[in-house]
């Protein structure tokens, strides 16, 4: 249970006008309880500067009054502090989880933020069914079954999944499809499934394959290989050559995945390795992940922080955030002194309920792995820096081309997609000084206002007008609205004129506007850049043209994928539009049970009645709807 403070409301109201920096921190520290919790430091505008956790709130916060013991970054943060707030928790672990969630939500200026932290996939053997399903899975472990991972590299997870299908012939289809098959699917034909859906394998033999796959994922590969080799030889001896060939192919799949994934680190089958390197105030943490003696992927992380942040505090904050929603392995190797990470070790021990050791190798094979991770981290940050410099150069060249005096900090690119006016969707993507910024991407379902004068739904001009209107009108109501220096529209002179009309409507003529259209015969490389006063033709090999094309193509990709998702959802939704009482939940139940809309349409009343979660009266209505 987490309790938000009740007392600071009165304290803050008086302190804001009188105290700041060290003085306000010292004053509030006296009022804080000696319990675990999270504290927030805010500036005079109420913007959160820093979020931290504490085993003892009072003792932790008072430390900020000793400036000599703080880094320059934290000294500056203290000087800007005007308000404080805190949350009391029952345990240190609750404080850690709350801190990580608040940092992700608010992204405070003085915190170190793990921007690349996302849900990594697991391989799940789902045991909720009589014939367990093999699948790639992300999210909370809410299904009954065995989870193997996390796989930091999704491609490694995909490769492993396919190899497991080939080696053990396990089903991967959803239950709705599995229950309603009358003949084997393509996966059976290409020898990636044993077709339990049509009874080509009994439950006992299938369960044996499940147990073998678990042993394989747990690292007992030699036993499985020996078992299959023995079966292959027996089949060959009995002149069952087709069966022997199938077993040979399965052994080959096991050998392939072993060759691709296996790694040997003495005495350490489950281990994570992290190395941090800094260059010009920016950092990269390269991670290597091993489970059950197999490589589960490598990844470079680029935490967001101030230039004055130190390596040890960056890595410490990274480890807290990275393992806040994951289980840590028994051993973690790092390239800094492990003496600086005793508190992290202690928290992970409590969180995981088993002993976790953080080590700094000094020699041998483990040191070689750390040195390799360091090399990868350094190369990654050099590449990132080079890419960022190229991006900044392109932005500056674009400013000069369009004669824009101000620095380009934000560019918005717009496009739309539809199928003859149906499932029309508009999109906006954003590029800033750090490159493309997917967190600011937006989708707009085109509404086609009936009160407007547009006569046709196949009207790209109207679609662009609606999207720009809905986007830019927020400036009046949203104080945090970030005004772009440049807007790029995918289209020709007509789309440019629509954009100008909307900018004038909201008195935003100071925003620079261009459109980019395909050239003669719509050939890539012959694009025409339309501005208010002139048209620009860049040479096909001009790097600036390639930069603009990349922005346009990313907007186009986002528009197409968003449209396809909408189209697939609407295809299911439209079937039930005229049937009252069938909402999203019941649609999902029907689709899960039958696997496709066609199966629902042709189902008999007896087949429909097997769905216990929908009342019989509604079942009869569904049957009448499709059979009237």
Taking only the tens place, the pLDDT of each residue in 585-620 is 777 787 777 777 777 877 888 888 888 778 888 888
In which band, very low, low, confident or very high, does the pLDDT at 246 lie, cut at 50, 70 and 90?
confident
Quick check: helix, strand or coil at residue 36? coil
61 closest CA partner among 89, 79, 86: 86
What CATH number does domain 2-106 carry, 3.90.1640.10, 1.10.10.10, 3.40.1440.10, 3.90.1150.10? 3.40.1440.10
CB atoms within 10 A of CB 173: 17
Please list, residue by residue across 602-627, b when 16 or more beta carbons sit within 10 angstroms of its beta carbon and e when fewer do.
Answer: ebeeebbeebeebeeebbeebbebee
Q: Is the pLDDT of residue 15 over 50?
A: no
On whether the CB atoms of residues 544 and 552 are closer than 8 A, the answer is: no
- 476 against 289, higher pLDDT: 289
Q: Pull the structure tokens for residue 608.
A: 């429909």
With a CB cutoff of 8 Å and minimum separation 6, the contacts of 430 are: 410, 411, 412, 413, 436, 437, 440, 441, 484
- Look up the CATH number of domain 576-627: 1.10.150.20
Evaluate whether 2-106 and 576-627 have a shared fold. Answer: no
On whether the CB atoms of residues 334 and 314 are closer than 8 A, the answer is: no
On whether the CB atoms of residues 485 and 407 are closer than 8 A, the answer is: yes
Range in 73-77, 353-357, 590-594 the model is least confident about: 590-594
Q: Is the pLDDT of residue 251 over 60?
A: yes
On whether the CB atoms of residues 520 and 526 are closer than 8 A, the answer is: yes
pTM above 0.85, yes or no: no
Helical packing angle, 493-505 and 460-472, nearest 10°: 30
pLDDT, tens digit, 9 for 90 and up, residues 538-553: 888 889 999 999 999 9
pLDDT, tens digit, 9 for 90 and up, residues 133-167: 998 888 778 888 888 878 887 788 888 888 888 88
Q: Quick one: average pLDDT of 320-346?
A: 89
Domain positions in the chain? 2-106, 122-261, 271-281+300-382, 410-568, 576-627
Sheet holding 282-291, edge to edge: 294-301, 282-291, 271-279, 331-334, 357-359
pLDDT, tens digit, 9 for 90 and up, residues 392-417: 999 999 999 988 888 899 999 998 88
Report the pLDDT value the prediction gives residue 265, as an integer from 0 to 100: 58
In which band, very low, low, confident or very high, does the pLDDT at 557 lie, cut at 50, 70 and 90?
very high
- Look up the CATH number of domain 410-568: 3.30.420.340
Q: Quick one: average pLDDT of 75-88?
A: 86
Report the pLDDT value the prediction gives residue 182, as an integer from 0 to 100: 79
Q: Quick one: average pLDDT of 493-499?
A: 89
How many angstroms from the chain centroid is the CA of residue 594?
30
């Amino acid at each position: 249970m987490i309790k938000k403070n009740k007392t600071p409301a009165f304290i803050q109201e008086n302190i804001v006008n009188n105290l700041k920096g060290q003085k306000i921190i010292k004053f509030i520290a006296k009022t804080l309880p000696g319990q675990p919790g999270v504290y927030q430091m805010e500036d005079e505008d109420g913007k959160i500067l820093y979020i931290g956790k504490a085993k003892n709130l009072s003792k932790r916060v008072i430390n900020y009054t000793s400036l000599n013991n703080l880094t320059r970054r934290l000294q500056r943060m203290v000087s800007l502090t005007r308000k404080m707030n805190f949350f009391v928790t029952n345990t240190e672990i609750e404080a850690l989880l709350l801190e990580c969630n608040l940092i992700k939500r608010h992204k405070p200026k003085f915190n170190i933020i793990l921007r690349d932290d996302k849900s990594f996939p697991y391989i799940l053997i789902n045991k909720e069914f009589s014939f367990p399903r093999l699948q790639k899975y992300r999210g909370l472990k809410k299904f009954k079954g065995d989870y193997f991972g996390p796989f930091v590299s999704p491609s490694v997870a995909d490769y492993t999944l396919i190899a497991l299908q080939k080696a053990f012939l396990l089903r991967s289809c959803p239950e709705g499809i599995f229950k309603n098959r009358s003949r084997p699917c393509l996966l059976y034909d290409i020898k990636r499934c044993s077709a339990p859906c049509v009874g080509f394998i009994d439950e006992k033999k299938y369960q044996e394959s499940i147990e073998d796959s678990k042993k394989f994922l747990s690292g007992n590969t030699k036993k499985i290989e020996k078992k299959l080799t023995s079966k292959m030889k027996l089949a060959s001896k009995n002149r069952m050559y087709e069966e022997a060939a199938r077993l040979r192919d399965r052994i080959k799949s096991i050998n392939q995945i072993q060759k691709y994934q296996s790694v040997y680190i003495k005495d350490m089958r489950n281990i994570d390795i992290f190395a941090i390197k800094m260059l010009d105030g920016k950092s990269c943490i390269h991670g290597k992940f091993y489970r059950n003696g197999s490589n589960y992927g490598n990844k470079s992380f680029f935490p967001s922080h101030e230039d004055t942040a130190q390596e040890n505090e960056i890595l410490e904050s990274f480890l807290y955030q990275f393992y806040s929603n994951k289980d840590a392995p028994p051993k973690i190797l790092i390239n800094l002194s492990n003496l600086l990470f005793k508190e992290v070790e202690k928290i992970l021990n409590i969180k995981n309920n088993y002993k976790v050791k953080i080590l700094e190798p000094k020699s041998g094979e483990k040191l070689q792995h750390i040195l390799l991770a360091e090399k990868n981290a350094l190369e990654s940050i050099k590449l990132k820096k080079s890419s960022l410099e190229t991006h900044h150069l392109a932005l500056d060249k674009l400013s000069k081309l369009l004669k824009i005096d101000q620095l380009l900090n934000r560019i918005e690119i717009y496009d739309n997609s539809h199928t003859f006016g149906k499932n029309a969707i508009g999109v906006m993507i954003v590029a800033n000084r750090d490159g493309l910024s997917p967190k600011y991407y937006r989708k707009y379902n085109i509404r086609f206002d009936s009160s407007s004068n547009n006569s046709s739904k196949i009207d790209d001009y109207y679609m662009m007008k609606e999207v720009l209107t809905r986007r830019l009108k927020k400036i009046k109501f949203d104080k945090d609205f970030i005004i772009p220096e440049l807007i790029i529209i995918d289209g020709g002179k007509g789309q440019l004129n629509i954009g100008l009309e909307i900018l004038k409507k909201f008195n935003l003529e100071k925003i620079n506007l261009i459109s980019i259209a395909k050239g003669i015969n719509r050939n890539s490389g012959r694009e025409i850049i339309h501005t208010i006063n002139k048209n620009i033709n860049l040479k096909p090999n001009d790097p600036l043209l390639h930069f603009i094309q990349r922005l346009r193509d990313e907007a186009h990709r986002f528009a197409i994928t968003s449209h396809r998702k909408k189209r697939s959802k609407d295809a299911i939704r439209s079937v039930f539009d005229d049937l009252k009482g069938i909402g999203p939940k019941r649609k999902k139940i029907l689709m899960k049970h039958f696997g496709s809309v066609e199966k629902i349409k042709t189902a008999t009343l007896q087949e429909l009645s097997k769905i216990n979660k929908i009342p019989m009266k509604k079942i009869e209505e569904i049957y009448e709807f499709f059979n009237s």
